Amino acid sequence: MAITYHYADQYRSKLRTPEQAAKVVKSGDWIDIGMGAGFPALMDAAIAKRRDELFNVKVRGYLIFEPIQMVECDPTRTHFLYNSWHMSGYERKLSDRGLCSFSPMVFRNLGSYYTNYLTVNVAMMAVTPMNSHGYFNFSVANASARATLDKADIVILEVNENLPWVYGGQDECIHISDVDFIVEGEHKPLPSLSATQASEAEQTIAEYVVQHMTHGATLQLGIGSLPNAVGQVLARSDLRDLGVHTEMLCDSYLELYRAGIVTNRKKELDRNKSVFGLALGSPDLYEWVRENPGVVTYPVSYCNRPRIVSQFSNFVSINNCIGIDLYGQICAETNGFRQISGTGGQLDFLDAAARSPGGKAFICMTSSFTDKQGNVHSRISPTLKPGDIVTDPRSLAFYVVTEYGGVNLMGCTTWQRAERLISIAHPMFRDELIAAAEKQGIWIRSNKR
């Protein structure tokens, strides 16, 4: 269908080159850039060219997978100061170089941060080409897009010809009447996120989790090799009629759909539809979501909201972590003072699963890891080490799983938590963990050794 003359005229009047649009940025501004596949590469490059005339421009983004020119061109952070809500591998390396600061958040509330608290002078993101009704689609980068653009003084859309149009239930589009400038240009293929090969221990963990799932459960998988391993084991299981309600859609869900395991028939909300907030994966994943009525996007204020998610019976959340202490405090985002990722939606889904009738939340990890010097360390420790951030408080800890089994910490006393966690620790560390628990006053005589 052809674009109507009225919208085509508006489009032409707002069309600029990236260099022209970049002129609206002023020293001291707060800029927000689209996340993931919504990253506006052309605008980023055009603003970076203005480096020497701009100072103290604050930039916010998250889960960016390609070089950010505004950051790379300014190693002293004199001109551009980049901040991430949730770090990708690339942003983690920027942080290691001192070029990326972290912004703590709970994902379900990110939109409300913009609505109620933050200043956005210029917001820019990549979107699909405009349709005949004057709408642009946020594609696989919905998440917090609309809330960010609504708060901005100036909205710049970068049309990315590679982005698939994704149907949605809420805030998946923006109309040309709400846009200040539009830029066009050629783009590289969308960022592809390959699944990491699971280890033997991770496969064992995945098998434990799948054994504790039921037919008709609604599923959320986090980021990483462990959740991917669960998806692979699920694809080989005899479970049926699973539903999808997740923050991030990845290739594991496509694998489950192809295996006939995901049908969404039993969901209490959004029946017959897989729901997600953002998608990162292979080209096949992006083609699966393209104009697919069975896969729809919502903002994370809906996807991650516990009062929404808790309406699903047997909701299952599967995420990983870096470590846990004997009290049940879970660290999933830092290694000491080094920022690894972020809270994201893990806390949201832990809370939601606890409210869901028959719900379960699994935090998965290998029992130990080996450092670069070849030293083996336990992921279960007496207390979190200095710098470790508590992603999930002990009051919300649910199932914790290693290759040595799984334990449910919900409602447990401190001495029960210590006993149960030590039972799934690597055997070489159990005696020293017991000794530490005794010293900390959370071990009693009746506990099993």
Residues marked as catalytic:
247
- Give the total residue count for the chain: 449
| Tokens of residue 50, six digits | 């203005």
Q: Residue 267 in contact with residue 245, Cβ under 8 Å?
A: yes
Q: CA-CA distance, 13 to 49, in Å (whole number)?
A: 25
Residue with tokens 């104009």: 291
In order of 136, 161, 226, the CA distances from 178 in angstroms are: 10, 20, 41
Q: CA-CA distance, 137 to 38, in Å (whole number)?
A: 10
Other CB atoms within 10 A of residue 11 CB:
18
DSSP state of 99: -
Which residues is 70 bridged to in the sheet? none
Residues near 370 by beta carbon (within 8 Å), at least 6 away in sequence: 376, 377
Closest by Cα among 191, 236, 189 to 210: 236
Residue with tokens 């994201």: 344
3-class SS at 221?
strand
Residues 332, 262, 240: CA angle, nearest 5 degrees: 105
* CB burial string 343-352: b at 16+ within 10 A, e below: bbbbbbbbbb
Other CB atoms within 10 A of residue 233 CB:
21
Closest by Cα among 110, 38, 122, 21 to 80: 122
Alpha carbon 199 to chain centroid distance?
22
Q: Is the dihedral of CA 91, 94, 100, 101 positive or negative?
A: positive
Q: CA-CA distance, 7 to 86, in Å (whole number)?
A: 36
